[in-house]
Structure 1
Amino acid sequence: SDLIDKRYICVCYGKTKEQSMIEAPIGRNKDSIITRCITPSGKHAKTEYKTLSSHHSASLCEVKLHTGRTHQIRVHFKHIGHPLIGDDLYDGFHPRIQTQSLQCYKVKFIHPIYNKEIEIIIDYKNLEKIYQSVN
């Protein structure tokens, strides 16, 4: 919802565009109860990203969701040919990295009682290390 602004950081394979909007419907994968896929019969899904840094093998991106589908960031980044590093489920296997390179790093909302903006930010040093290690 627009009441809560969440931002994510991810590390994906390849060199992403400077910024982009990904709009592609996401639905269940008929062969799996876990994975999702891009399918015309899926639900509308919209993901916005900007590239914070990139080199020939990987990109570090900030991501904002406009919809909240299961595995949305992971599915959309696979769809544009940049799977998340370490994400075995969505073609991002890496021999040394056994975790999907994705984290929510910022949450912003208006406090329901005090009506003040609250912003919580945590660092993403682990993802920066992953980004730098993939060369």
Structure 2
Amino acid sequence: MDESITDLTLEATESDQSEPDYLQAVVDLELSGSRLDQALVAFFPDYSRSRLQSWVKSGRVRVNGETARNKDKVKSGDVILLDAEEEKVTYVVAEEIALDIVFEDEHLIVVNKPAGLVVHPAAGNPAGTLQNGLLYHAPELEKLPRAGIVHRLDKETSGLLVVARSLKAHKRLVELLQARDIHREYRTVVNGVLITGGHIDAPIGRHPTQRVKMAVVPSGKEAQTDYRVLEKFPAHTLLQVKLHSGRTHQIRVHMAHIRHPVVGDPVYGGRLRLPAGASEPLKEALRSFKRQALHAFKLGFDHPDTGEYVEWQAEMPDDMLNLLETLREDANA
């Protein structure tokens, strides 16, 4: 996901109200020729392969409107519909959760998500999520797929996220995501000193042996990331990062790939790095920073109703600001 924005966007079919709400994906050239069950794993990473295969066998998956078999090959342009109702939480309870709402109108809501907040219920997180809070704030969202959530951020990534408030807005935001017409900028603190900005073009897919992780792999999906140096420290760099694709964990994977992992990243960061000669306050700040130092700073797109370009920014949260201040003090000591 979006870094945490996935290429798969969740779209309800509107042609027949008696039909279930399907998750939809369109096969691209990279997956053309793959078995159906392999394509499903790539498109719907929220669900296990065995679960997806069982849904195919029970007729809950359609390809171009027809049921299919797991071993059937898919081709570019095929439309896959998945009825995943059994896997979803059957009833998401509206909960009064404090939300930092940056903007809202009748079409959309822009939220500044704090680190630690899961976007929607899943195994291990049945409640207390952003989706629960959104349903309390705007009960009409229960009529939309995943309460209007068309993209997400990792639990420990903070920052801006847009939620559709109507079917019209949902459809349009899905189209913008697929066309890569949503402008997304992040702020991140990485290990090591980068002299200048750069461009990373490296395909991302499931790690070949550690299935809970993503990795740069030849068989992965195309992924491009731009980064620019904002501030340098003796052993760290503050970066502005821009996504040109939205693979799961993209920024975290790409920065680790160039050997400058995100500070605090528990999955891709490796062991804790304490720079030689660092002050005690900096050492303590690095030891105590337990999440990836990654923040979705800017979000912009053409408004789904007016067509006018709209954009928002969200200041980095206190934990990242405090880390930066400690890095500056150490550098000037």
Do both share a fold (TM > 0.5)?
Answer: yes
Q: Tell me, what secondary structure is at the counterpart of 2:322?
A: helix
Give the aligned residue type for 1:16: L
Is 1:70 the counterpart of 2:70? The answer is no
> TM-score w.r.t. structure 1 length?
0.90
Match of 1:107 in 2: 299
Once the 2 structures are TM-superposed, how far is the Cα of residue 11 of structure 1 from its aligned partner? 0.6
Q: What is the distance in 1 between the residues matched to 2:218 and 2:325?
A: 36
Match of 1:45 in 2: 223
Is 1:98 the counterpart of 2:290? The answer is yes
Q: Tell me, what secondary structure is at the counterpart of 1:11?
A: strand
> TM-score w.r.t. structure 2 length?
0.39
Query: Contact 2:299–2:311 at 8 Å: present in 1 too?
Result: yes
Match of 2:309 in 1: 117
Match of 1:11 in 2: 189
Q: Larger radius of gyration, structure 1 or 2? A: 2
Q: Counterparts in 2 of 1:20-59, with a 5 A limit?
A: 20-59=198-237
When residues 133 and 60 of structure 1 are mapped into structure 2, their CA distance, relative to the original with a 3 A threshold, is: same
Once the 2 structures are TM-superposed, how far is the Cα of residue 57 of structure 1 from its aligned partner? 1.2
Once the 2 structures are TM-superposed, how far is the Cα of residue 109 of structure 1 from its aligned partner? 1.1
Q: What is the distance in 1 between the residues matched to 2:310 and 2:222?
A: 29
Could you list the structure 1 runs, at least 4 aligned residues long, displaced by more than 4 angstroms after superposition. none
Match of 1:133 in 2: 326
Q: Tell me, what secondary structure is at the counterpart of 2:267?
A: helix
Q: Tell me, what secondary structure is at the counterpart of 1:75?
A: helix
User: Unaligned regions of 5+ residues in structure 1, if any?
Assistant: none
User: Unaligned regions of 5+ residues in structure 2, if any?
Assistant: 1-178, 273-285
Q: What is the distance in 1 between the residues matched to 2:191 and 2:325?
A: 12
Query: Contact 1:59–1:131 at 8 Å: present in 2 too?
Result: no
Q: Over residues 8-58 of structure 1, what are the superposed CA-to-partner deviations in whole Å (9 max), with x where a residue is unaligned?
A: 111101111321001111111122222111111211111001010011211
Query: Contact 2:180–2:245 at 8 Å: present in 1 too?
Result: no
Name the one with the larger strand percent: 1
Name the one with the larger helix percent: 2
Q: Tell me, what secondary structure is at the counterpart of 2:321?
A: helix
Q: What is the distance in 2 between the residues matched to 1:99 and 1:133?
A: 17
% of aligned pairs identical? 35
Q: Over residues 77-100 of structure 1, what are the superposed CA-to-partner deviations in whole Å (9 max), with x where a residue is unaligned?
A: 001111000002002545221010
Q: What is the distance in 2 between the residues matched to 1:23 and 1:3?
A: 19
Query: Contact 1:58–1:131 at 8 Å: present in 2 too?
Result: no
Q: What is the distance in 2 between the residues matched to 1:90 and 1:132?
A: 24
Question: How many pairs align?
Answer: 135
Give the aligned residue type for 2:258: I
